[in-house]
Structure 1
Amino acid sequence: MSNPSIQAGSNAPGRATRPTTITVAFWAFLASTLLGLANGVVTLLSGNSVGNATSTVIVDNGTELTETQVDQVATATNAGALVFSVIMSLLYVLFAAKVRAGRNWARILLTVVTGLQLLAITFGQSTTLGYLSALSALVGAVLCFAKPSNDYFAAVKTSR
């Protein structure tokens, strides 16, 4: 009896057929990415920024920064954080695509990132979107290690 998750696909001779668990994991990772980005944008727009904590900052040499200078630093920090988030999101989508293609290293990497995401919401402040993003990533990571997924990764490795 042959395993349906490793049978050759009709349009790609010799290639493993992608199981539903991998397809759902891919979409779960994409959902996690979108929810994480939405969380960052909401946080940025809601005023939870570096500069809103205080209007006066004293630097190491005792010089006091003006409110305008604090706002400029906060704006630059928030812009940097947003750019970093977009770059990380693009990488996350790339890794999800690699999981979909059967690359085991991407499965391991996204599992580690999911673990870090769970640690971040456990020990840090999070929002509903942050929790939903982590939950979605957890679903994707778990599905990546289901039996049909394991068979798929093995079949892809063998076919290369």
Structure 2
Amino acid sequence: MTAGQGPQGWDQPGQDPYGQGAYGQGAYDQGAYGQGPHGQGAHGGYASAPAAPDGFGAPAPVERPSAVVLGVGAFAATLVLGLVNALVTFADVDGFIAQVQAASPDVAISESAARAALVAGAGFALVLVALQVLFLWFAWKGRNWARIVLWVLGGLGVAGSLVGFLGGGAPTVSGLLTVLSLASLLLTVVGIVALAQKPASAWYRYQGWRRAQGR
């Protein structure tokens, strides 16, 4: 794609995407089946409408497609569920620390050390939440690099969740936390799949082309 051409079949705004005006030369100059005996097409001089460019059967997708709305919305929902998960965990700090200590019987973990690690982890999690909000905003505005970042983070999250569920090495959690974790896992998968759909990819390409044109 060059600086003056749209992505995969899009022409510059203001020009006919088929190379000639719909009522100018080319599209209706000759009939779809050649010229009739009076110089007109087989259908009275009106030929079939020209085909859309390959790869896109509709005009440039300026509107945000539903796949992008679903994908970004799903990732935003996982972020909210993560915050709820953290609030539930901090509501019973003593119980969580006891679970961590019970899960590592061979390593003596003092209560003060466990609390300090929990506070440090919470601070780090807040930084990650702020970054995720930033990535979601840029992905919503059509930045393809943000979509890729969400894919990477989502893939790591899915892998970590599967290891936690199948590995059996994590501390026992309450039923509510288990439900929240499963819901977050499913929403992450939905977000990854939705943002990988063809309409979403076409929209991100078009948004990148518009920015390259300064529009």
Same fold by TM (over 0.5)? yes
Query: Does the CA-based 8 Å contact 1:51-1:73 persist in structure 2?
Result: no
1:114 has 2:160 as partner: no
Aligned residues with identical type, % of pairs: 30
How far does the alpha carbon of each residue in 1:68-124 deviate from its partner, in whole angstroms, 9 at most, with x for none? Answer: xx2222221111111111211121121111111111111111111111111111111
Between Structure 1 and Structure 2, which shows a larger proportion of helix residues? 1
Following superposition, the deviation at residue 50 of structure 1 comes to 6.8
Q: What's 1:33 paired with?
A: 79
More strand by share: 1
Question: Normalized against structure 2, the TM-score is what?
Answer: 0.58
Give, in whole Å, the separation in 2 of the partners of 1:50 and 1:37: 22
Give the CA RMSD over aligned residues.
2.6
When Rg is computed on C-alpha atoms for both structures, the one with the higher figure is 2
Give me the whole-angstrom Cα distance separating, in 2, the residues matched to 1:40 and 1:106: 25
Report the Cα offset of residue 129 of structure 1.
0.9
Task: Tell me how far apart the structure 2 counterparts of residues 49 and 3 of structure 1 sit (CA, whole Å).
Answer: 57
Amino acid at match of 2:79: T
Give the corresponding residue for 1:154: 205
Q: Bigger relative contact order, structure 1 or 2, given CA contacts below 8 A and separation 6+?
A: 1
- Rounded to whole Å, the distance in 2 between the matches of 1:50 and 1:77 is 13
Structure 2 unaligned spans of 5+:
1-51, 165-169, 171-176
Q: Secondary structure at the match of 1:107?
A: helix
One of 68, 76, 91 as aligned partner of 1:22: 68
Moved over 3 A (4+): none
| Equivalent residue runs for 1:62-141 within 5 Å | 70-124=110-164, 125=170, 127-141=178-192
